[in-house]
Amino acid sequence: MDALVEARGVEHRIGTRAILTGLALTIARGEVIGIAGPNGAGKSTLGRLLLGFATPTAGTITIAGVDPAAHRHAHGIGFLHEDGGRGWEYATPRALLSLHLEDPDAIRGDPICRVLAIDPLLDRRVATLSKGQWRAVQLAMALVSRTPFVLLDEPEAGLDPSAQGRLHEVVGMRAAEGAAILLLSHHLDSLAVVAAQIHLLVQGRFHDRFDPTGMSAAALRSRYTHGVDAPAADTPIVGRSI
């Protein structure tokens, strides 16, 4: 398996408080991994470490063999922030997308933009977009630059069922192109559609991992509840290709 993202023995502390403990994670090229867990489990912190926006207190994280910050500088990272996106109200989606494409004229013909149906939105101010429309634009911003690693934090937030279907489609497109994709989410049913494996992160540790293929919503909920209540497992978790 051609692993792109590798994390070993990752710990992160803020002061004396341990946020993440003994995490191991591998994501191969073309693989989609989901991480679920309750609020405060450390999902977003793990995301920041993988993006190179923070450095782990202990352990190693590499992306394509280099540290995440160096990889980000060399290749960029497709990142969807969980924040609602305040600050870009007066920009247009076209201007924002031009940050991520060398040739901004390529926006209109881009298959990801076409699937996300953002063509009619390109020249509107962000302040005039609905929450779901803005989320679609943010998704396009994270995906159009074709980065090797994509991290989407709560990508379903604000999306209606039809838009969630488009989200799954574009995630699948990027995985088919060879991107390693990590989804951080509370929405198990959505993760189950695209992720080859779901890891449960509870109190900074991976407590469970499973292949959601064919699992019903009830089975997913049961697995989640059981995983959240189960004792920590220290075994490294390795994803598989889809």
Binding footprint of another protein on the chain (CB under 8 A) = 12, 14, 19, 44-45, 48, 51, 53-54, 69, 72-79, 81, 83-92, 94-96, 98-100, 102, 104-105, 108, 122-123, 141-142, 145, 147
CB nearer another protein, residue 19 or residue 116 = 19
CB nearer another protein, residue 53 or residue 210 = 53
Residue type, 197: Q
CB of 141 to another protein, least distance (A): 7
Tokens of 227: 């995983």
CB of 79 to another protein, least distance (A): 4
Tokens of 54: 């923070």
CB nearer another protein, residue 96 or residue 117 = 96
CB of 118 to another protein, least distance (A): 14
Tokens of 87: 């600050």
CB nearer another protein, residue 179 or residue 220 = 179
CA distances from 99 to 68, 133, 199 (A): 20, 19, 33
CB of 75 to another protein, least distance (A): 6
Place of tokens 């500088």: 73
User: CB under 8 Å to 184, separation ≥6 — which residues?
Assistant: 34, 35, 43, 44, 46, 47, 82, 151, 152, 153, 154
CB nearer another protein, residue 122 or residue 192 = 122
CB of 35 to another protein, least distance (A): 15
Q: How many Å apart are CA 101 and CA 187, to the nearest integer? A: 30
Angle formed by the axes of helices 43-51 and 68-75, to 10°? 60
